[in-house]
Structure 1
Amino acid sequence: MDNYSQLLAFLWATEHGNFSAASRAHGLTPSAISKLISRLEDRLQVRLFQRGTRSLSLTEEGAAYLVSARAVINAMAEADSLAEAFPTRVSGMLRIHTMSTFAKHQIIPWLPEFLAAYPGLTIDIQIGAQFSDQFDQGLDLAIHSGVLPDSTRIARKIGQSRWIICASPDYLARHGTPEHPQQLLEHTCFSFGFNSVWNDWDFLIDGNPTRVPVIPKATFAQGDLLRDLALSGAGIVRLAEFHIGQDIHEGRLIPLLQNHSPDNFEPIYMIYTNRKHLSPRIRVFRDFLEQKLAQSPWNTRQS
């Protein structure tokens, strides 16, 4: 920083012709300007000015140094002006990792609106059921629910969603509606095919937390396949409300055993690497997403 101050003092003295005028123009004392230039000359081991009684004149070395000094100051000013534009310039590639169901039902519906608002931005959405830390491979942010592994990453809660056991009206008309959690053992049920708490069908029975050991007839890696089976009338599933909330609202799926359901709200997080210097492309996506989620009836976000 001292080298930069020395450069500025040199340019100011050259511009104004003496230390006194330079100091008045820039809020310093003449001695401060003189000391900065003396340090610069000592560092360069060359005299830059011929000092007269009331004025300064550049030496031959000083005139040559002036060209380089102006180039350095101009380059730094240009760099600063570019940096000042960063907060408002949204461009480049935004890489996101999230659950396929969240991408399909909570991002895709408003993504065209977002891209129209930020035409300089392109998005790469990578799909995975569970959070995987890929930030060292260029990932910008991740959106996942549930309990996250211990990490130094920033996890910002953006909402929470219930898990709902449900079936189609057609299935219930043909096979009856279970009135007690244990009756699920008599029904056709489907669940996820990987080890996850999403496969734990928990209930309150006589006020006590109870897990019913539902044995699925088939398992799948993607929640949308479970939803498709439920919508087709094939059986009963347990899915997140952010996934099937619209189906329930429009009567395509019917919630079951609500009187026995615990308050099993699951948090949804946005995960990124740095809280202080957040990239503009991440910031605008985060703000846009939170605005859309705030309008979602399923989102019972609690800080």
Structure 2
Amino acid sequence: MDSYTQLLAFVWVIESGNFSAAARAHDLSPSTISKLITALERRLAVRLFVRGAQTLTLTEEGVAFEGSARAVTEAMAAADSLAEALPQRVSGVLRIHTMTTFAKHQILPWLPEFLVANPDLAVEIEVGAQFVDRFDQGVDVAIHSGILPDSSRVARRIGESEWLVCASPAYLLKYGEPKTPEDLLQHRCFNFSFASPWNSWSFRRADEIVTVPVQCRASFTQGDLLRDLALAGEGVVRLADFHIGADIATGALVPLLQAFRLKLREPVYLIHAHREHVSPKVRAFQMFIEARIARQGWAA
């Protein structure tokens, strides 16, 4: 029995006149009300009621305690009323942490639509190639792909991506197209500069998975720099389809070694701090992005 419920029972008994009437008014048994009052008196180490055969009156300590008890219960009722109104009011600042590439190629194209739908909400976007738990520093939502570290955070799969080896038509015209995964050892390749599964260029040959230790001429922390080099005709890169889907669609980049593709889909997660009591702004963002991806897929 929590302290707040004990206070409620105390106020109910005062308003109803006795234990039985308070119990009937709130769909409880008289014994439950009696136990709540007894527990409250034991916790306060005072008697709050004089229990007569036909009457119930407050003791001097009960009269003194009534004002404080009513102040607490009224404040809790006001807080509950505010909480009930919150889900209808999406406002404040939504802070998002995500990959630079996802922010640029997925969030930015539909961000204006989200802001129009939520006129009282502002959005701040922080970027980083890898997931870092910054929920205790004010981040509301994170969007990242791949393997996430074990934690108590809530990760919801919102989509999947495939990693594609690609180059520009200009590069292929100049250096030729690799025909087998091992041919990549003779090509100009670029990769990420941090330890990551994304740097593992793996392919499937029949029932065997082949990983090629590509020799990278340069490496970067941001995928967009890899994309820029590939678009400039400087080399071969391996990037996610949510990042380069538009380039593939327009022919600016050409997927390579398609006969050897693993065809593995990497999950993309929306992460927030708690499973319960999700804030209205986080819920609105989650519903919006899930509906958009379900309707249109990745922006291309």
- Cα displacement (A) at 1:213: 1.7
Post-superposition Cα deviations, 1:49-77, rounded to whole Å, max 9, x if no partner, equal: 9x9x9x99999998887766654443332
Query: Out of 1, 10, 13, which is 1:9 matched to?
Result: 13
Is the CA contact 2:156–2:270 (under 8 Å) kept in the aligned structure 1? yes
Residues 42-53 of structure 1: matches in 2 within 5 Å? 45=47
C-alpha distance in structure 1 between counterparts of 2:129 and 2:34, whole Å = 66
Is the CA contact 2:161–2:240 (under 8 Å) kept in the aligned structure 1? yes
- The equivalent of 1:116 in structure 2 is 116
Is the CA contact 1:130–1:144 (under 8 Å) kept in the aligned structure 2? yes
- The equivalent of 1:199 in structure 2 is 199
Letter in 1 for 2:162: R
C-alpha distance in structure 2 between counterparts of 1:37 and 1:166, whole Å = 73
- Cα displacement (A) at 1:24: 7.2
Is the CA contact 2:154–2:272 (under 8 Å) kept in the aligned structure 1? yes
Post-superposition Cα deviations, 1:251-272, rounded to whole Å, max 9, x if no partner, equal: 2111111001112321111222
Residues 1-303 of structure 1: matches in 2 within 5 Å? 1-13=5-17, 45=47, 71-297=71-297
**Unaligned segments of structure 2, at least 5 residues:** none
C-alpha distance in structure 2 between counterparts of 1:136 and 1:105, whole Å = 27
Is the CA contact 2:49–2:56 (under 8 Å) kept in the aligned structure 1? no
Relative distance call for 1:262 and 1:77 in structure 2 (3 A) is same
Query: TM-score normalized by structure 2?
Result: 0.81
C-alpha distance in structure 2 between counterparts of 1:58 and 1:211, whole Å = 81
- Cα displacement (A) at 1:284: 1.3
C-alpha distance in structure 1 between counterparts of 2:38 and 2:220, whole Å = 75
C-alpha distance in structure 1 between counterparts of 2:33 and 2:285, whole Å = 48
CA RMSD of aligned residues (A): 3.4
Letter in 1 for 2:247: D
C-alpha distance in structure 2 between counterparts of 1:211 and 1:70, whole Å = 70
- Cα displacement (A) at 1:21: 8.1
C-alpha distance in structure 2 between counterparts of 1:46 and 1:204, whole Å = 78
C-alpha distance in structure 2 between counterparts of 1:34 and 1:193, whole Å = 68
Letter in 1 for 2:193: G
Is the CA contact 2:144–2:268 (under 8 Å) kept in the aligned structure 1? yes
C-alpha distance in structure 2 between counterparts of 1:96 and 1:252, whole Å = 30
Post-superposition Cα deviations, 1:186-239, rounded to whole Å, max 9, x if no partner, equal: 222211111111111111234421111211221111111111111122221110
**Unaligned segments of structure 1, at least 5 residues:** none
Letter in 2 for 1:238: R
Relative distance call for 1:61 and 1:212 in structure 2 (3 A) is closer
Identical positions, percent: 56
- Cα displacement (A) at 1:160: 1.0
C-alpha distance in structure 1 between counterparts of 2:269 and 2:190, whole Å = 26
Relative distance call for 1:75 and 1:151 in structure 2 (3 A) is closer
**Which region of structure 1 is more displaced relative to structure 2, 88-97 or 155-164?**
88-97
Is the CA contact 1:41–1:47 (under 8 Å) kept in the aligned structure 2? no
DSSP-derived class of the 1:109 partner: helix
**Which region of structure 1 is more displaced relative to structure 2, 103-112 or 118-127?**
118-127
DSSP-derived class of the 1:157 partner: strand
DSSP-derived class of the 1:239 partner: strand
Letter in 2 for 1:2: Q
Letter in 2 for 1:106: Q
- Cα displacement (A) at 1:121: 2.3
Is the CA contact 1:48–1:61 (under 8 Å) kept in the aligned structure 2? no
